[in-house]
Structure 1
Amino acid sequence: MPARDALRVNGAGTGNGAGTGPAARTLAWRTALLLALVLLAVLLAVSLGSVNVPLPDTLRGVWHGLRGQTLSGSDVIVWQLRFPRVALGLLVGASLGLCGGAYQGVFRNPLADPYLMGVASGAGLGATLAVVAGWPSAAVPLVALAGSLLSVTVSLALARSGRRLPPVRLILSGVVVGSILTAVSTYLLLLTEDRVRQVFSFTLGNLAFGGWRQVGTVLPYALLGGGTLLLLSRALNMLQLGDLTARSLGLPVERLRLIVIVAASLVTAAAVSYAGIIGFVGLVTPHLVRRVWGGDHRVLLPVSALAGGGLLVLSDLLARTLTRPTELPVGVVTTLLGGPFFLYLLRQTRDDA
């Protein structure tokens, strides 16, 4: 197949959109339906909890909060307690979904996820160090963020071969570095067994302490890194043709791979530092989106962000309500939902092959 035709097939043509005609309208309707479902999930998550707030009161509380009016009664529950938690879940889920799609594209591997380069293990080690050292709880996310970025830096350094970053070496270095950091974290926990519960609360994912300050901290990372990934979506389409073909078309493959990994790792590190390690959102969401919306990264990445945010908001709602008055770690819910669903997708893929 000629390179120009291959580019059109893979959605990396020179047009300004992902396509026109009936197919584009179908994608637009599907995206609009997904957006409506996500908004409904947000409203339900803000309304339901240990104290249910009627939907009209929920909308009124959000409106009063947006306008900066004095809050009273249920407005306080809606705007100061639940809505920031839901906003953080939406932001973290969108970050994981977007980065999962970018990782799967840059590695051309459907099993890639945002934690591939050791982000989760680095965050876990950072959080463990902060807890074991007895540092203030406000320092835990910062140390976790530093651990994530350090882990990615070491993985990239080990994977580099001259000026190249071979995908296989990247994957292997990420797995090895992650395993080593996890072992160190486990050893530290064995030394201070009385702090295990606090560390597990982080490693299993938890949005319970989400507030407007956390949202404001994660948002710049998501906008900067996520915006970079969206700008590179067409280049990711070209990369699906293979490194040799992409290079022949003038694509700087190694530079692209490095930028995508750094941007996605930065977004993921910020997300997990304030929400803990939440599994399967970044792995399952792009798979589902790819089956319904197709493999064009110009569509895949933003829709994966939208679907990932909705999935995490619903998961957190289940975590808060299934075992009331206690809460489940949201990472447990996403794993229980995402694990079987991912196995189903693998089974369907095998049957279709």
Structure 2
Amino acid sequence: MNKKIILLLLLVLFLGIVIIISLFCGVDNSDPSQAAVIIWQLRLPRVLLALLVGAGLASAGAVFQALLRNSLAEPYTLGVSSGAALGASLGMLFRLSSIYTTVFAFIGSLLTIFLVYTIAARKRFSNSSLILGGVTLGFLFSSIVLLIIAMVRQEGISNAVIWLMGDLSSASPQAIFLTAVFVSGGILAFFLLGRDVDLICLGEEKAMHIGLDVETIKKILFFIASLVTAACVSASGIIGFVGLIIPHIGRFMFGPKHRVLFIAVSLLGAGFLILCDTIARTVALPLELPVGVITGIFGGIFFLGLLIKAKKW
């Protein structure tokens, strides 16, 4: 059997194991009816959202790193997270329900995508214009978010801070459905365009000589990856490092062929975020940590290990 197929099957097994652990970890078996409520009404929606967000951020991160040719690019490079944070903060400022706060976050992400693309269009969608536009808007929106948090009433500050650090506890059916639509559609599009990404990575001039419309493909992929990121951030807050470290691990395991890579990082990202959320939920009982704290710790350890291995101090 092909080595890559075996690795993919192992990733599916890994995902299944972490799902089971997350569903049943800490459940009291003395009351079966209460345990069933905890598993099906509280744990399962949270696991589903973690699966979708992890897969979405990891696959979008792989797209950004490939097209921008930057190993440190991630789904938040174009400022989508800051736009979502601004929208969510406005929702909290007006004391809206969690559903409307999610909608505000998604609208904020879409507006950021529109602004970044408008700025980049003046420079013919060059990589530098996309990155600079995203970073500039990110700083601007982050400053506005801090201003809004200062204006939010005391009881709303903790909710805003937790959301900004990543939070999967409010996994509503609406959020899961919205995220599922964008993430599944996005991953399918990434897979179908995977061979085009391979050609672009070999050299844009070579790809154009073959007959590939490089600029159109890049615009489509950037836009889809941004939509996937917007859906993930609006549902879960800002969860760092998933879209940064998972593509690196995926390339180490599967190589540079992007069709296989997009499937692999989706499975790996889903399992990784479910595992991190389980740790965040159980490591400091009765307190619950934001999942972004755990992913940040793993991300820092990962890159520190890379630095030590590369001996580039």
The two structures have a TM-score, normalised by structure 2, of 0.94
Alignment of 1:246 with 2:246, yes or no, is no
Query: Which of 28, 42, 62 is the equivalent residue of 2:5?
Result: 28
Letter in 2 for 1:99: A
**Residue 298 of structure 1, CA deviation:** 0.9
Q: Does 1:43 align with 2:20?
A: yes
2:149 matched to which residue of 1? 189
The alpha carbon displacement at 1:248 in A equals: 1.5
Given that 1:148 and 1:269 are in contact with CA atoms closer than 8 Å, whether structure 2 keeps it comes out as yes
Within 2, Cα distance between the matches of 1:168 and 1:344?
29
In the alignment, what sits opposite 1:214? 175
Q: Give the letter aligned to residue 150 of structure 2.
A: L
How far apart are the structure 2 equivalents of 1:140 and 1:311? 26
Amino acid in the other structure paired with 1:79: W
- Following superposition, the deviation at residue 193 of structure 1 comes to 5.5
Q: 1:121 aligns with which of 57, 79, 82?
A: 82
**TM-score normalised by L of structure 1:** 0.84
1:261 equivalent in structure 2:
222
Matches within 5 A, 1:12-91: 25-49=2-26, 51-52=27-28, 72-91=33-52
1:306-327: CA deviations, max 9, x gaps? Answer: 0000000000000011001110
The 1:346/1:241 distance shift into structure 2, 3 A limit, reads farther
Question: What does the per-residue CA deviation read over 1:56-113, in whole Å, with 9 as the maximum and x for residues that have no partner?
Answer: x9xxx9xxxxxxxxxx442222111111111110111011111111111111111110
- Equivalent residue of 1:41, what SS? helix
Equivalents in 2 of 1:347, 1:303: separation in Å? 26
The structure whose Rg is larger is 1
Whole-angstrom distance in 1 between the partners of 2:99 and 2:210: 48
1:351 Cα deviation from its structure 2 partner = 5.1
What letter matches 1:122 in structure 2? G
Verify the 8 A CA contact 1:204 1:332 in the aligned structure 2.
yes
* Cα distance in structure 2, aligned partners of 1:213 and 1:186: 28
Residue 186 of structure 2 is aligned to residue 225 of structure 1? yes
Matched residue pairs, number? 311
Unaligned runs of 5+ in 2: none
Measure the CA separation in 2 of the matches of 1:351 and 1:183. Answer: 36
* Residues 98 and 304, structure 1, Cα contact 8 Å, conserved in 2: yes
Q: CA deviation at 1:244?
A: 1.7
Tell me: CA distance 1:149–1:347, structure 2 relative to 1, closer, same or farther (3 Å). Answer: farther
Distance 2:305 2:208 in 1: 36
| Contact 2:187/2:262 (8 A) holds in 1 | no
Structure 1: tracts of 5 or more residues without a match:
1-21, 62-71
